[in-house]
Amino acid sequence: MDDIGFILLSYIAAFGGAGALVWHVLRRARTLGRQLPDEDKPWI
């Protein structure tokens, strides 16, 4: 597989980018969730 580096890089960018965004939103949700009562969270 001659092009392995480029192929892996494209997968790392896609999976890593999505993972970073997910991690950021979960961390933010946890931080804000501590500051607000559950009455202000209609999804619960």
Partner 1 sequence: MPIGRGTSTTFTRGLGVAAVVSLAAVALFGLVLSPPDVIQGESVRILYVHVGTVWVAYVAFIVTAVSSAAYLWRRTRSLVWDRIAGASAEIGVLFMAVTLFAGSLWGRLSWGTFWVWDARVTTTAFLFISYVGYLAVRDLGGSHEQRARRSAVVALLAVLEIPLVHFSVRLWRSVHQDASVADRTTDVELDGLMLFTLALSTVAFTLVYVWYVLHRQRVLAMEDALDDKGLDLALAERRSEAVGQKGVR
Cα(44)–Cα(18) distance, integer angstroms:
25
The verdict on 33 binding partner 1 (CB under 8 A) reads yes
Asked if residue 17 binds partner 1 (CB under 8 A), the reply is yes
Buried-exposed string 4-19: b where 16+ CB fall within 10 A, e elsewhere? eeeeeeeeeeeeeeee
Q: Which two tokens stand for residue 13?
A: 């960018």
Q: Nearest approach, Cβ of 39 to partner 1 (angstroms)? A: 7
Q: Does 9 bind partner 1 (CB under 8 A)?
A: yes
What does the binding site for partner 1 look like in residue numbers (CB under 8 A)?
A: 1-4, 6-11, 13-15, 17-18, 21-22, 25-26, 28-30, 32-44
